[in-house]
Structures are given as C-alpha cells and as structure tokens.
Chain A
Amino acid sequence: MKNRLKVLRAERDWTQAQLAAELQVSRQTVNAIEKGKFDPSLPLAFKAARLFEMSIEDIFQDETV
C-alpha cells in the first residue's frame, strides 16, 4: 500500500517523532509506514486521516488498483 504520510508530514514541518506522538505510536512505526514496510490498521489510518483532516483514500492508496 502506498501512502503520502511523509509528504503530508513534511508539509507541516513535523518530525517522525512528532507525528508518532500525535498518532500514539512509536517513531519506528511511523517510519515503517512511510517506507511501505508496514500497513497500518484501519483505526490507525482513521486517526491519521483525522489528524491531517483528509479522507483515508487521500492518504493511503491501494497499489493493486
């Protein structure tokens, strides 16, 4: 699954640690999601969507489509 987390974070000038704190996960988890090594659960994806005030589809895209 592709995602725009890194871009959205950079636009807001946030560090991975800051984003991790907002999402209540570890910095390593944010890094793994940004690199596409780990796909977040639906609740975590919703949390990210709420934080960035966007829809989930605007942040996460299915690569198979």
Chain B
Amino acid sequence: MNNMKTDSNDWAANTARNTLRLGYWTAAWLLTMALAKFGPEFIWQMNTSSTVLAILFNLAIGFGMILANKRHLKGLDELHQKIQLEAMALSLGIGLVVGLAYSNLDVTDVIPFDAEISHLVILMALTYLAGVVGGLRKYR
C-alpha cells in the first residue's frame, strides 16, 4: 500500500510536471512565432538572414512543443486521453472540412476577402477547446 502511495504521488506529480512543461514550450513557441512575424519589420529591418534564423528557431521550438505535447498526452490517464482524442478528432475534422470549404469560397470569389490561415487556426483552436470542455462535461 505504501509503495502504491508513492507511485500514485509520483504519477500525480509527473502529470503536473508534464502539463507545466507543455505550458512552457507553448509559451516559448508563441514568443518565437511573434518574433518571426514581427521581427523583420520592427527589429532587424527586413534582413533576410535574421528572418530565416528566426523562422528556423520558431520551427525548432515548435518541434519541442510537439514532443512535450506527446509526452503530456502519454502521461494522462485513460479517460483524459479519450477526451483529448475525441477533441482532436473534432478539431481536425471540422478544420479540414470547413477550412477547405472556406478556401473554395475564397478562390471562387464568393467572399470579398482572403481566407487567411489564421482563421483556420482560430477555428481549430476553438473547436478543440469546445471538444475538451464537452468531453469533461460528458464524463463528469
């Protein structure tokens, strides 16, 4: 029983650590994304080498975030893995279907503005969030 107690404490601490680590990687990715996006105009006056370096740095941090997310998911218990899977399926499905329909509206000039990739990212993020909240409620 004592051994199980120690294991369970380790499990809870490990989950918390993985979540925190994912948070740090996500924050770092966002910051490097902002640097790559706004740096050329506001910091290094469109110097191409600096821009390429910033984009490569953002990519590297992005891969780190993906690995941190993978580790976070593997550390979750089976119910929460199921909730995450359902939320990601919803997000990917809606992102693909609505994203391509939105793109078609743009290329056929049905909508008077450009279909930006950021709109798709916002849609997928909101869908994922709704999926997680819905899953947490479903199994409450």
Binding site for B on A (CB under 8 A): 21-26, 28-29, 31-32, 37-38, 40-41, 44, 51
In the docked arrangement, what's the CA distance between A64 and B80, Å? Answer: 26
Binding site for A on B (CB under 8 A): 1, 4-5, 7-9, 11-12, 77-80, 82, 136, 138-140
In the docked arrangement, what's the CA distance between A40 and B8, Å? Answer: 18
Q: What residues on A are CB-neighbors of B139 within 8 Å?
A: 28-29, 32, 37-38
In the docked arrangement, what's the CA distance between A28 and B138, Å? Answer: 11
Contacts known (A31-B140, A32-B139, A37-B139); A21 close to B8, Cβ less than 8 A = yes
Contacts known (A31-B140, A32-B139, A38-B139); A24 close to B79, Cβ less than 8 A = no
User: Are A32 and B4 closer than 8 Å at their CB atoms?
Assistant: no
Q: What residues on B are CB-neighbors of A51 within 8 Å?
A: 4
Q: What residues on A are CB-neighbors of B11 within 8 Å?
A: 24
Q: Closest Cβ of chain A: how far from B47's Cβ, in Å?
A: 49
User: Are A25 and B79 closer than 8 Å at their CB atoms?
Assistant: yes
User: Are B79 and A21 closer than 8 Å at their CB atoms?
Assistant: no
CB-based closest 7 A-B pairs: A25-B77, A21-B8, A29-B79, A24-B11, A32-B139, A24-B8, A29-B77
Contact partner of B82 (CB less than 8 A), chosen from A21, A31, A38, is: A38
Q: What residues on B are CB-neighbors of A44 within 8 Å?
A: 78
The residue on B at minimum CB distance from A32 is B139
Most chain A Cβ neighbours within 10 Å, of B5, B11, B78: B78
User: Are B9 and A21 closer than 8 Å at their CB atoms?
Assistant: yes
The residue on B at minimum CB distance from A41 is B78
In the docked arrangement, what's the CA distance between A28 and B82, Å? Answer: 13
In the docked arrangement, what's the CA distance between A41 and B82, Å? Answer: 11
